[in-house]
Amino acid sequence: MQEILLCDLDAFFAAVEQRDNPELRGKPVIVGGLTGRGVVATCSYEARGFGVRSAMPLKKALKLCPHAVLLPVNISRYREVAAEVLAVYRRFTPFIEVVSIDEAYLGVAPGEGLEVARAIKEAVRKELDLPLSIGVSVNKLLAKVACNLAKPQGLKALWPDEVPQILWPLPVGVLPGIGTKTEKQLKERGIRTVGDLAAAPLYLLKMVLGSEALRFKEYSHGVDRRGLVLSRPPLSFSKETTFPRDVWEPEVVRGALMRLAEDLGYRLRQNGFLARSVTLKLRFADFRTITRTRCLAEGINRDSLIYRTAWELFQEFASSPPWRLVGIKVAELSNWKQLSWLEDEREERERMLALVLDALRSRYGRPVVRRASGLKGILPEGEE
């Protein structure tokens, strides 16, 4: 039987904002919008100290914490960081169920749960500078409860023989699937804690929980029959750019291909994949669009190899200018188990350069350093 980890990034959106903008550290941050309309998507623990909570109307949140820093939801950035976190998880286990952008269950070998959890927490902290709470147990229910008890930034195990001492005294609402309304109905029948639910007769539970009564009865005893629903890996990664004006010079397209290759190489490495096919997408000024694919003998994730393949395809199939859009797709993905032996010193330098650029991008949230060849020509707006 596997041991199960629930990894939950603490106040994820706010944590990303505070990491990317160090001047926000220690300040109450509310992510949800720039005006008083809407609701709180998440907030930092500094804001929670004033009573602010997720899903709370922003107007109420700002009354509780008028000096809070209010930020819009930058979902594309959060997804990018979440992919980096998921890539860390994949280094430790292939058995992953992604629950949401900031939460995932992981399956590991029996007896290894705590050791793996400590290693994951350390990796996420050192490499990504993000707070993470992890619960460890033999099933998803107990791992979830343990994770909630570990927050913030903690690690806790909850084993079946600890259910009477740890789980039973907790409010019945800690069980997943019991919301505020159901908890109120249970309280009206004298069922306030998980222990009360465990001791209650099944017929009484059916009055409130209906056909789900038996499942929640099992939950109250720490039994959860749900297995991991393994997340499907992506089939491909792609990125394209539309030029601000029609382009006649091949060198401008060449620079754009380098930038696209850098972005795709980064995504492959961060997610632990190799690609065995590269597709060039090219749109002409008259909106005619072509795609051309080259299959490779071996999987790649190096920027230079992606770029070289795309550039060769361009040279072969571009015909006559002007061009309006260029894009690259990498597909036929496989797991990147380990680095192959490097052929020469040049490849070693290329690998080390990629690692440095990846580290800078992970730290600052954007490609702060580009290869010179990727800056030639006309850049799309916002990419200078």
Residues placed in the known binding site for Mg(2+): 8, 102
Q: With CA atoms as reference, report the closest residue to 53 among 16, 25, 11, 15.
A: 11
**Could you tell me if 128 and 362 are in contact, meaning their C-beta atoms sit under 8 angstroms apart?**
yes
State residue 307 phi and psi, 5-degree precision. -60, -45
SS3 category, 11: coil
Measured between alpha carbons, how far is 90 from 116 in angstroms, rounded to an integer?
Answer: 12
17 membership: H or E segment, kind and range: helix 12-20
Q: With CA atoms as reference, report the closest residue to 156 among 134, 171, 180.
A: 134
**Could you tell me where the DSSP H helices lie in 132-231?**
140-150, 180-188, 194-199, 202-209, 213-220
- Reply yes or no on whether 212 is catalytic: no
Tell the burial category of 30 from Cβ atoms under 10 Å away from its Cβ (0-12, 13-18, 19+).
Answer: buried
Which is catalytic among the residues 103, 162, 332, 347?
103
Tell the burial category of 55 from Cβ atoms under 10 Å away from its Cβ (0-12, 13-18, 19+).
Answer: exposed
Long-range contacts of 61-69 (CB under 8 A, 24+ apart): 61/30, 61/32, 62/30, 62/36, 65/28, 65/30, 67/28, 68/27, 68/28, 68/29, 68/30, 68/43, 69/24, 69/27, 69/28, 69/29, 69/30
Please identify every residue annotated as catalytic. 103
